[in-house]
Each structure stands twice: as C-alpha cells, then as structure tokens.
C-alpha cells in the first residue's frame, strides 16, 4: 500500500471512529458479559468480533447478514457491531452457532440462532481453517488443540478377525458432526457385503476408523501387517475435504489433521494389496484424481470434481447413495460378467445423478486397469480436423452409458458430456465452437473400458 493510500485510510478511520457511540472494545465487553459468560457452552465456544480489514469498523444500515446455507436474511436498520459464536467448535459441518449484533446507538443486543458460518453482504466469514484458527477477531476461546498424527505402526482392532484376506474394506469417516457419515458407511457396507452383484467382502473384513488421521492410519497400518497381503482393498471416505487433502479430526489442527492424496497413496501401497477400489465422498475430491491414478491400480470414484461441493440428503450423500445402489443393480452390469464393478457403478450413478448442477456430483474413475472398449465398433469423428462442429459415430451392441471427455494437450478438461443409455449405431453431434485451435484427445469411457480419438480443431 502506498503512502497516499495509507494516509487516506487512516483519515477515513479517524473520521469513522469519531462517530461511534461504542468502541469495539466496549462492544466486545457487552457480548462477553451478557452473552458468553451466561451461555452453557461458555467453556467450549469460540467467539469472533468481526473487524473488517483491521479497521475497527462496524456494519452499517443497509448491510445484509445471513449464514452459509441460508435460513434467514437480515438487513440492518441500525449501525451495529457483528459477532459470531462457534458454540461447538469440535464440529465442522452443520452445528450450533450464533450471530450477535450490538446496536451502536443504544447498546441493545440482537441474536440469531444459526448452524453455519456467517455471510455478510455476500462475503463468507470464518469459513476456512486458517480464518478460524489464526483470526485476530477471536475474543474468547482457544482454537488450538493437541496434535494428532499417524505415529508408529500400531496393531489395532480392524473390525473382526476376518476369515479370508482375499478382500478387505476400510470405511473411514472424517470430522465429528458430518450429518450423514454413518449412513454412508452403512450404505457402502451393505453394498460391499453383497454377494450377488457386489464383491462379497466377508462380514469380518471391515475396518471403520472414525474422525482422526491416526485412526485411519492405524487401520491401514494393520492391513500392512496382514500375511499374506489382501488381494483387494476397498477404501471409502465420507467427510470434509479440499482439492489437496482429506480433512480429519478437529478442523483447527491444520498441521496434523489432514491426509494429502500422496499420503493416502503411500499408506495404501504399504498394504501390498494387489489392487484397490477407492471411493471418496467429499467436496472438491476430484483434486486427488491425478495422484491416485498415478499411484494406484484398480478403480476409483469421487463425488465431485476439483471445484464443486458434494451434495447431501437426509439419508446419505447424493453420490454414495446412487453409487451403493448401483452396485446392487444388475442393470449396471454392462460388462455382462455377473458383477458390478466400481467403474460400472460409477457410470450408472452418474447417469442417474447428472453433472450439470453444482449439488449433483461428478465422479471419475482411474484408467490404469481398463481395457479399450471391446464392444464399441465403427468409431469415427468427422470432419477431423474440426471447424466448429463435428459428428461422433459409433455402434453399441449393448445398452451402455458413455461419457465423453475432451482434453487439451495439458490434460485439462475443455468439454464433457454424459450420454444416456445407448444401443446400436449412433451419430452424436458435437458443438466444439469456441475452442482454441490445436490438438485434443476425445476420451470415451464406460463400464467396459475406454477409447481415445485424436482431434484437431481449426479456428
């Protein structure tokens, strides 16, 4: 910031401060004395006194407040100091919180019972780990907690003796407070136990680590001690996540309570299992695609790409519900071998869920073990090179959902389209106008495998 701008800001701050009936410190004391010290969660809560840009300024008439998942909108009719109380900071998702307004003119208090972080004039406040942990706005409580880590390899109860090392499932959940984590675990357990169309994992071969990095690491470390190693490991996670890592334990433990995608790969590889089936139900989970594909063979699916949130319902996450249901649906067995693979279940679930809405998930699968599409014939794209539009032609003897993905030379997705169940000779018009001149790869994927057409686009 240059000197002129600094002096202007200081001048505005001096003018603003001179007009306040209450100082920020006085407003803080009102909330502490009248709200916090009389609250039953006094010893657990963390309180934030909103201080935009460190200017000790307040909200003004006409400003709007609400919460992340809107339950109300309030337009200020008086200049007020804003406070947010996290009443159960051990929970990361929906949990008791409170918004407090202190009227600058008469010191009166207005409270709003909420369950998410606040939103002011469209701006999300205290929504990230860093904001909550290191915010200078904290006036009550301590967000620091004892660290958790993987530590040494431990022998733990992995959920049963397990009559066979052939297949094992690790059904992990993230931070306490996720509204449907336990329901997702039950959905996946039932699907994986299914012996008809599913893999038939023995009832004793389930681990269910909950809530912390150490719990998940211990469960995987225990499998690394299996002799002989498992033939296949099914790993499922439901919880909070980012495009870079899974969030575990208390969200304020930034350094220790997360598992990066590479850490997860390393732990899984240490089990020496022959193959893996990975399913991740968390926001931005598609960010792990490249790392998981490069490090593990087998199949994988995420509930979102690397930008979208994962959608929830009262009885389970949107994608996990559809995915688990498809594993027990004989119609999803597009390969005709009597079993529904992760890739087939993913394709079937995507066909049901859709990709277009931010609250509908966008799964992916690894390609390291997929053959080329043996059932797809008469494949062509014309004209190629493409100028604006083209026609994709192929023939399918079986009804199969097919996903089209167009990648540029950097591996970035520039076009994606989910085709419904198709059978017979098909001609699909593609509008590729607006794409830059260059070389691309058109990837066709289904439950049976994939195929690629090299595409050249002209201006």
Please give the domain boundaries of the chain with CATH numbers for all domains.
15-140 (no CATH), 167-353 (3.40.50.1460), 377-457 (2.60.40.3080)
Secondary structure E strands in 389-448: 389-407, 413-431, 438-446
The residues near 222 (Cβ < 8 Å, ≥ 6 apart) are: 154, 155, 156, 158, 207
The upper half-sphere exposure of residue 355, i.e. CA atoms within 13 Å in the direction of its Cβ, equals: 20
Q: Which tens digits make up the pLDDT trace of 349-399? A: 666 555 433 334 445 444 333 444 455 778 899 999 999 899 999 887 777
Q: Which tens digits make up the pLDDT trace of 190-219? A: 999 988 888 889 988 999 998 888 899 999
The upper half-sphere exposure of residue 310, i.e. CA atoms within 13 Å in the direction of its Cβ, equals: 35
Task: Tally Cβ neighbours within 10 Å of residue 29.
Answer: 14
**pLDDT at 16 (0 to 100):** 43
The model carries a pTM of 0.52
**pLDDT at 231 (0 to 100):** 87
- Cα(92)–Cα(235) distance, rounded to whole angstroms? 22
DSSP-derived letter for residue 167 is: E
Q: CA 259: distance to chain centroid?
A: 13
Q: What is the DSSP string of 237-263?
A: EES-B-SSEEE-S-TT-TTTSEEEHHH
Cβ(278)–Cβ(296) below 8 Å: yes
Helical residues (DSSP H) of 201-300, grouped into ranges: 213-224, 261-269, 289-295
**pLDDT at 305 (0 to 100):** 72
**pLDDT at 327 (0 to 100):** 82
Quick one: which of 177, 296, 292, 298 has its CA closest to 239? 177
Low-confidence stretches of the chain (pLDDT < 50) are 1-18, 145-164, 252-255, 355-362, 364-373
3-class state of residue 130 by DSSP: helix
- Kindly state the tokens that stand for 218: 């211990």
């Amino acid at each position: 910031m240059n000197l002129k701008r600094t002096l202007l800001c200081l001048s505005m701050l001096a003018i603003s401060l001179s007009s306040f009936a209450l100082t920020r410190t006085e407003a803080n004391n009102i909330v502490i004395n009248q709200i916090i010290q009389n609250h039953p969660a006094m010893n657990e809560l963390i309180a934030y006194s909103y201080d935009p840009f460190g200017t000790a300024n307040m909200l003004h008439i006409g400003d709007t407040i609400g919460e992340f998942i809107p339950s109300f909108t309030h337009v200020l009719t008086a200049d007020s100091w804003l406070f947010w109380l996290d009443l159960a900071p051990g929970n990361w998702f929906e949990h008791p919180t409170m918004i407090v307004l202190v009227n600058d003119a008469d010191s009166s208090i207005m409270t709003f019972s909420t369950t998410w972080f606040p939103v002011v004039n469209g701006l999300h406040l205290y929504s990230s780990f860093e904001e909550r942990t290191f915010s200078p706005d904290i006036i009550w409580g301590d967000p620091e907690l004892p660290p958790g880590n993987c530590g040494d390899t431990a022998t733990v109860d992995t959920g049963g003796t397990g009559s066979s090392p052939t297949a094992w499932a690790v059904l992990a959940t993230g931070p306490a407070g996720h509204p449907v984590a336990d329901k997702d675990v039950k959905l996946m357990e039932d699907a994986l136990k299914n012996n008809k169309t599913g893999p038939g994992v023995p009832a004793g071969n389930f681990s269910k680590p909950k809530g912390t990095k150490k719990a998940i690491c211990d469960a995987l470390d225990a499998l690394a001690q299996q002799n002989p190693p498992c033939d296949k490991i099914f790993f499922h996670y439901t919880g909070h996540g980012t495009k870079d890592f899974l969030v575990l334990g208390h969200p304020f433990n930034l350094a220790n309570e997360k598992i990066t995608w590479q850490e997860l790969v390393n732990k899984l590889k240490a089990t020496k299992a022959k193959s893996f089936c990975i399913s991740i139900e968390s926001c931005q989970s598609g960010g792990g695609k490249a790392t998981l594909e490069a490090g593990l063979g087998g199949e994988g699916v995420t509930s979102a790409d690397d930008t979208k949130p994962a959608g929830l319902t009262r009885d389970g996450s949107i994608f996990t519900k559809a995915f688990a249901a498809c594993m027990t649906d004989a119609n999803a067995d597009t390969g005709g071998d009597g079993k529904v693979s992760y890739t087939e279940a993913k394709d079937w679930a995507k066909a049901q869920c859709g990709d277009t809405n931010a609250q509908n998930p966008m799964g992916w699968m690894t390609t390291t073990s997929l053959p080329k599409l043996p059932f797809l014939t008469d494949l062509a794209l014309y004209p190629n090179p493409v100028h604006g539009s083209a026609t994709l032609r192929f023939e399918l003897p079986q009804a199969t959902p097919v996903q089209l993905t167009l990648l540029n030379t950097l591996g970035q997705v520039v076009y994606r389209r989910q085709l419904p169940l198709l059978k017979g000779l098909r001609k699909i018009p593609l509008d590729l106008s607006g794409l830059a001149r260059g070389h691309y790869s058109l990837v066709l994927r289904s439950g049976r495998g994939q195929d690629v057409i090299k595409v050249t686009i002209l201006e």
